[in-house]
Structure 1
Amino acid sequence: MTSHVLDLAGAGIGPFNLSIAAQLDSIPAVKAQFFDSRPAFSWHPGMMLPGAEMQTSFLKDLVTGTNPTSPWSFLAYLVRHKRFYQFLNAEYEAVPRQEFADYLGWVARNLPSLSFGKTVRRMDKVDGALALDVDGECVVARNLAVGVGKKPSLPTWAEDLPKSMIFHNSEAAHRLGGVKARRVAVIGGGQSGAELVDALLDLKSVDSVLWISRRPNFEPLDATPFTNELFTPGYMDCFHGLTEDLRITHTRRQLLASDGISASTLKKLYRRLYERRLERGGAGDDGIQLRPFRDVTAGRRQGQTIELTMRNGFDESIETVEVDLIVAATGYRFELPTFLQPHAQRIDYNTLGEPVLNQDFSLAWDGPAENKIFVLNAGRHSHGIAEPQMSLAAWRSAVIVNALLGHDHFDLQLLEPLVHWQGQHGDPVPAARLGQAAE
């Protein structure tokens, strides 16, 4: 057993727990340690395709939103690596994803509170604390932050297909170099799907790329100013106070605010398609088929090929097509970590089967109130579309730190919002004070 009790233990070291660790680095009195089974930090290594860009501002890093003087900001990273002026001169519309990953890795390599190659295997309740089995060592902490991430999600019809004929976009950087298939289908109309199509067009082994999306068109990310108000602490605070059915309705309606394709990527792809037709004199097969508004209902193996059946939402027709390989840009799903599964019956869930989170991002469960379990990247339907993204990572970390301390170490008071989301007549929707759990 550890010789002291931690104020916070972290399971998993992705960007969100890394943000908490970076924030706590400025508060030496708080004892925290974070554990990850991987040998070193890595951030979506399978998605580091050439030219891939972030869809959020570089100011929305681990700390800047609430702690701009932290040594762990993206700007501090640029200065430390002597690239500050060149970065400004490059005038990026968006930060290259590879550079942001390098920034995260730099922070992870330099924070002393991170332990890699260590797996949290079990959690038990002990007097006034939580006992974690970390590879046979007992680590005792008053609170826990779970940041193990989500699991790649494949359609139900794809479950029986061999892995040689389908892979998730999270593996793309590792798998694309070995693709020998002539006809490849990309399923998914978000940013990841667009980046995959762009990468496949560079492969000489691929003769035809079929891009399938359930969305009515290949639609752009809505990053306009008033839509970006959805990615502010004030909106998230209001959103959490809504009823569950309203929260689910709003997140579905706001899809393009969080999962559209960046305008630069759409423009690049369209120009590539235009140039391919120009090269072929405007006639013949240009090697790509765009099929939006299609819902794939079945995928059956036919020898060395896969027959896809699709329902066309535009004219209600049924289509079939044969391909040799599928790349699925079909998102991720929340899965309760193994060490929490013995406590599954003690956790509150919403109608979608997701854990209910209090306003301070702590789990709603029947355990002791003084032992909080913060769950990160599981609150899309409790806190809004910004919760799974980097946009409010620094703010969320500050909320969690304030909750740990029991007082406002970080000043999270907000100006009057530009947009009034809540009704101005009758009783307002109750909202808990920032940094504390809703009752």
Structure 2
Amino acid sequence: MPETPDPEVTDYVAIGAGPANLSLAAQAEAVPGLRGIHLERQREFAWHPGLLLPGAVIQISPLKDLVTPVDPTSDYSFPSFLVSTGRFYDFLSARFPAVHRAEYNEYLAWAARRLPTVRFGHEVREVHFRGDHFEALTDHGAFRGRHLVLGTGGTPAVPAVFREHLGERVFHAENFLRHEAVLPGRRVAVVGGGQSGAEIVRHLLAAGTAEHIAWVSRRPGFVPLDESAFANHLYHPEAAREFFGRSPAERTVLLRERRYTSDGISESLLAEIYQRIYLATHVEGRTGFIDLLPGYEVVGAAAVDDGYRLTLKSVDSVTSLDADAVVLATGYEQHPAPCTAPLAPRLRMADGAPVVREDFSVEWDGPDEHRIYLQNGARHAFGVADPNLSLVAWRSKVILDSIRDATGTRPKGSVTP
């Protein structure tokens, strides 16, 4: 039976229940009198389930969770999860150098189940502004809020040359585990030189069932993640604020220069891949099982026989590569959620991106007392840390404080970290 939505107007409606909006929901729980609703189209929580490979880890401290950086006493913290699930001391004794993605996904799902304002299976079809509130239309009815928070995340980036070939044997890395069964005995090309591409190559090497692996990347090499102390400082709130104060030209330069503080490969993973290749080559006596192809861009893809012929271009040469299957570890793109199309003409844009204020609200032609906030979509305004998990708690606190300021529920003199 369809749910009957609350006819009253809540303080905000949030679309999407990934880590960003889960952080908002968890923090909002601690604010007396604040009412919000979080609508998620998935029927249950899943954080990139196709990439939950054995051994895959997150690249940040688990203390940069949904709440700890702004409220270390919250019941929704990662340490609270460890205690609640009876594994706190075992976790400490294990001394993992990084938290496994599967366990962090379990933490996020644990938090999602405990948050009463998160509604799964509620796909938002359209969002409208009705003069004094936003209205999100779903198959379960309409949900209304004075403010709107968009946290729908990125969409898989698929290079144009592969779009017509998408299917069972050409797919984005996000769907890797769903398609893994077709890979044994085949020549597999992994396109993309970031962490996800490396994790998939490591996984294929460990399984040992692919006939051949080709790892292709536009980057000049398989570049390590810069995890130095000063690089990590770029993932502090003050660094995001400093970036916000830069000119558009300066921001463009800094995004390029700082790319590998977030988009590189963990050194431990690079070492493991190298060691696996060494052992297979020099100890097991295997040859011709892998080609490493950094510095090449795939500029063409054609179906041939029962596979695909990829055209690769480097700075000074063009070559071809035959594969039976292609895994696109090509990252994600930011696109407006289709449900926000009715609002799109009302947003102020610059260079193809929404103009974002310091409180993560976007400039639009509606009344300022009704705001549209952007979660995980303001890299152009706040720097490399914006799509990263590092600042989800801080960003949600900034948005929550802005909502409370607009609704008059925030105590005077309180400070946003």
Task: Structure 1: state its 5+ residue gaps.
Answer: 414-439
How far 1:302 moved relative to its partner? Answer: 1.4
Q: 1:184 to 1:126 in 2, by over 3 A?
A: same
RMSD over equivalenced CA pairs, Å: 1.5
Matched letter for residue 22 of structure 2 = L
SS at match of 1:327: strand
Aligned to 1:420: none
Q: 1:171 to 1:162 in 2, by over 3 A?
A: closer
Match of residue 285, structure 1, among 270, 284, 287: 287
Matched letter for residue 79 of structure 2 = L
- Identity, % of aligned pairs? 37
Q: 1:372 to 1:365 in 2, by over 3 A?
A: same
Q: Deviations over 1:325-353 (max 9, x none)?
A: 110100111121122112222112232x2
Residue 172 (structure 2) pairs with residue 164 (structure 1): no
Aligned to 1:58: 62
After TM superposition, the score normalised by the length of structure 1 is: 0.90
Aligned to 2:177: 173
Aligned to 1:369: 368
Residue 37 (structure 2) pairs with residue 23 (structure 1): no
In structure 1, what is the Cα distance between the partners aligned to 2:367 and 2:14? 18
Q: Deviations over 1:271-298 (max 9, x none)?
A: 10111012344xx624111111111111
Aligned to 1:432: none
In structure 2, what is the Cα distance between the partners aligned to 1:165 and 1:3? 47
Tell me if the contact between 2:126 and 2:341 (Cα under 8 Å) persists in the aligned partners: no
SS at match of 1:248: helix
In structure 2, what is the Cα distance between the partners aligned to 1:39 and 1:408? 37
In structure 1, what is the Cα distance between the partners aligned to 2:99 and 2:270? 17
Tell me if the contact between 1:280 and 1:286 (Cα under 8 Å) persists in the aligned partners: no
SS at match of 1:192: helix
Aligned to 1:99: 103
Aligned to 2:390: 391
Aligned to 1:330: 330
Match of residue 212, structure 2, among 208, 211, 227: 208
Residue 231 (structure 2) pairs with residue 227 (structure 1): yes
How far 1:178 moved relative to its partner? Answer: 3.1
Q: 1:223 to 1:381 in 2, by over 3 A?
A: same
In structure 2, what is the Cα distance between the partners aligned to 1:12 and 1:200? 32
Tell me if the contact between 1:60 and 1:391 (Cα under 8 Å) persists in the aligned partners: yes
SS at match of 2:377: coil
How far 1:408 moved relative to its partner? Answer: 6.3
Which 10-residue stretch deviates more, 401-410 or 210-219?
401-410
Aligned to 2:259: 255
Aligned to 1:294: 296
Matched letter for residue 319 of structure 1 = T
In structure 1, what is the Cα distance between the partners aligned to 2:273 and 2:360? 39
> How do residues 403-422 of structure 1 correspond to structure 2 at under 5 angstroms?
403-406=402-405, 407=410, 411-413=415-417
Q: Deviations over 1:69-89 (max 9, x none)?
A: 100000010011111111111
In structure 2, what is the Cα distance between the partners aligned to 1:125 and 1:342? 9
In structure 2, what is the Cα distance between the partners aligned to 1:271 and 1:376? 39
Tell me if the contact between 2:219 and 2:296 (Cα under 8 Å) persists in the aligned partners: yes
SS at match of 1:308: strand
Matched letter for residue 224 of structure 1 = S
How far 1:53 moved relative to its partner? Answer: 0.4
SS at match of 1:131: strand
Residue 274 (structure 2) pairs with residue 274 (structure 1): no
SS at match of 1:63: coil
Aligned to 1:77: 81
SS at match of 2:349: coil
Aligned to 1:437: none
After TM superposition, the score normalised by the length of structure 2 is: 0.94
SS at match of 1:159: helix
How far 1:138 moved relative to its partner? Answer: 2.3
Which 10-residue stretch deviates more, 55-64 or 294-303?
294-303
Which 10-residue stretch deviates more, 358-367 or 132-141?
132-141
In structure 1, what is the Cα distance between the partners aligned to 2:144 and 2:284? 66
SS at match of 2:200: helix
In structure 2, what is the Cα distance between the partners aligned to 1:186 and 1:340? 34
Count of equivalent residues:
408
Aligned to 1:428: none
SS at match of 1:270: helix
Residue 72 (structure 2) pairs with residue 68 (structure 1): yes
How far 1:245 moved relative to its partner? Answer: 2.2
Which 10-residue stretch deviates more, 342-351 or 48-57?
342-351
Aligned to 1:344: 344
Tell me if the contact between 1:334 and 1:354 (Cα under 8 Å) persists in the aligned partners: no
Matched letter for residue 48 of structure 1 = L
Q: Deviations over 1:101-146 (max 9, x none)?
A: 0000000001111111112222222232112212252222100111
Q: Deviations over 1:337-393 (max 9, x none)?
A: 122112222112232x22222111112211221111111111111111111111011
Tell me if the contact between 2:307 and 2:322 (Cα under 8 Å) persists in the aligned partners: yes
Residue 150 (structure 2) pairs with residue 138 (structure 1): no
Q: 1:178 to 1:244 in 2, by over 3 A?
A: same
Aligned to 1:34: 38
Tell me if the contact between 1:41 and 1:108 (Cα under 8 Å) persists in the aligned partners: yes
SS at match of 2:341: helix
Matched letter for residue 399 of structure 1 = V
Tell me if the contact between 2:225 and 2:266 (Cα under 8 Å) persists in the aligned partners: yes
SS at match of 2:353: coil
Aligned to 1:436: none
Matched letter for residue 40 of structure 2 = D
In structure 2, what is the Cα distance between the partners aligned to 1:201 and 1:337? 37
How far 1:155 moved relative to its partner? Answer: 0.6
In structure 2, what is the Cα distance between the partners aligned to 1:33 and 1:196? 36
Matched letter for residue 217 of structure 2 = S
In structure 2, what is the Cα distance between the partners aligned to 1:405 and 1:137? 26
Matched letter for residue 372 of structure 1 = R
